[in-house]
Amino acid sequence: MESAPQKLELILQYFDDFNEVQLQQLAALEELYKEWNAKINVISRKDIDSIYLHHVLHSLSIAAIANWQPGTHVIDIGCGGGFPGVPLAIFFPEVKFHLVDSIAKKLKVVDAVAEATGIRNITTQHTRAEEIKNRKFDFAVSRAVAPLKDLWQWSAPLLKKGGNQEIANGLICLKGGDLAQEISESRLRPRMMPVDKIFPEAYFEDKYILHVAK
């Protein structure tokens, strides 16, 4: 682990089972996103210098609760510049990730980052999730894209029921703040996990992982 770049120390505090390829892929993200962000704004300017805390580690909180098996199919709804999908694809190289967004130029960034880092388990599609037909996934993931009610409405038709993994097939989304009203309006009963219980960093206070089983 000594060879891991210094910038990855934060990630390596919490995960220690990356191989050399994964470490190189993770280490490459900062420069790639800085370079692309100058052309196509996918990360806010104030966040770009904290990409490993605010984006990569936040995305990987899903990996801390979902130990996906090889061959699992995951759709990232409204992936933007590739979070949480890109870090998760690095973490789970045997899992297939389909990243969708309604804004084509954001997917251009995802495709470029995947190509530059050699991530082979990502596909992208310029569409809205609700327009996808004849495809099924084990899980849907999303980060701060839309209210839970809408996310479930879009993802539920795309999800296979049940599954045989540690957590049931379903929607896993990253959200922040007071979610009481949003959950109430969704009429769902998600399992809710505070991210700062997984990664005790001040940034993750009031941030949560929600899991809705299919």
Annotated binding site for S-adenosyl-L-methionine: 78, 83, 129-130, 143
Q: Give which of 90, 80, 84, 91 is closest to 37, Cα–Cα.
A: 80
Token pair in block for residue 156: 């539920």
**How far apart, in whole angstroms, are the C-alpha atoms of residue 49 and residue 54?**
9
Rounded to an integer, what distance in angstroms lies between the CA atom of residue 115 and that of residue 19?
A: 19
Cα–Cα distance for residue pair 26/187, rounded to 1 Å: 38
Structure tokens at 53: 């805390």
Q: Are 198 and 92 in contact (CB under 8 A)?
A: no
Tokens of 45: 């300017």
Half-sphere exposure of 188 (CA within 13 A, CB side): 23
Known binding residues: 78, 83, 129-130, 143
Token representation of residue 148: 């839970």
